[in-house]
């Protein structure tokens, strides 16, 4: 693989253990810029991000889900949230034209989350996606911690830090999952 982007995609792995080294502000901004470069329906960009570097708050976030164990040693986490007010303009236009009420914020925020994971890997950080949406209990817990307005929905927590573990790339291609021209 000579292409840098393809190599980054194919070698990215979920990293759950981190060194104590804090993540520099410049790298955090790179992650956020990558997130905001994700595609979104109608370019509505219905996302907001909460950046957390305080251990006490990260430990509170860790209590949101039994899958949030990687936050234990993480020096940083980013909570990806869908802002339903940002999507409403696009949704109302589509509803008038096609009589549909799309909810693309989940897809848009998922694309932003993946961009953070890929950017983290590209700049020497490790990260793992901790799903919050659609678990209502997890969503409510995160919403309470941060005082989120009702129209902001937490979708994911990304645990981030300098890797304290290495993982070999995984070949996850399964040819039987591909259907050519028909099922």
Cα angle, residue 49 at apex, residues 57 and 133 outer, rounded to 5°: 85
Q: Which residue has the higher pLDDT, 99 or 20?
A: 20
What is the pTM assigned to this prediction? 0.92
Please tell me the predicted confidence (pLDDT) of residue 41: 86
Structure tokens at 2: 């000579």
Question: Where are the domains positioned within the chain?
Answer: 17-163
Q: How do residues 35-82 score in pLDDT, each as one tens digit?
A: 999 999 888 899 999 999 999 999 999 999 999 999 999 999 999 999
Rounded mean pLDDT, 95-118: 83
Please tell me the predicted confidence (pLDDT) of residue 51: 98
CATH H superfamily, domain 17-163:
NADH Oxidase (3.40.109.10)
**How many Cα atoms sit within 13 Å of 105 on the Cβ side?**
25
Residue 94 above 90 pLDDT?
no
Structure tokens at 168: 């070999």
For 38, which DSSP code?
S
Contact assessment for residue 108 and residue 45, using Cβ atoms and an 8 Å cutoff: yes
Helix ranges restricted to H, the chain: 4-11, 25-35, 55-62, 84-98, 105-122, 136-146
Rounded mean pLDDT, 89-97: 60
Question: Model confidence at 86, in pLDDT bands (50, 70, 90)?
Answer: confident
Chain mean pLDDT for the chain? 93
Please tell me the predicted confidence (pLDDT) of residue 98: 55
Please tell me the predicted confidence (pLDDT) of residue 91: 59
């Amino acid at each position: 693989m000579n292409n840098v982007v393809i190599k980054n995609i194919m070698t990215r792995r979920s990293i759950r253990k981190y060194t104590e080294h804090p993540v520099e502000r410049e790298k955090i901004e790179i992650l956020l810029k990558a997130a905001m470069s994700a595609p979104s329906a109608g370019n509505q960009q219905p996302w907001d991000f909460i950046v957390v570097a305080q251990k006490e708050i990260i430990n509170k976030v860790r209590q949101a889900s039994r899958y949030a164990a990687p936050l234990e040693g993480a020096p940083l986490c980013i909570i990806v949230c869908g802002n339903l007010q940002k999507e409403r303009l696009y949704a109302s236009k589509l509803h008038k034209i096609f009589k549909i009420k799309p909810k693309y914020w989940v897809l848009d925020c998922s694309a932003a989350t993946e961009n953070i994971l890929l950017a983290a890997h590209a700049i020497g950080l490790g990260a793992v996606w901790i799903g919050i949406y659609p678990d209502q209990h997890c969503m409510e817990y995160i919403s309470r911690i941060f005082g989120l307005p009702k129209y902001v929905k937490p979708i994911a927590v990304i645990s981030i830090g300098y890797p304290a573990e290495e993982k070999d790339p995984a070949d996850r291609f399964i040819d039987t999952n591909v259907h050519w021209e028909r099922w």
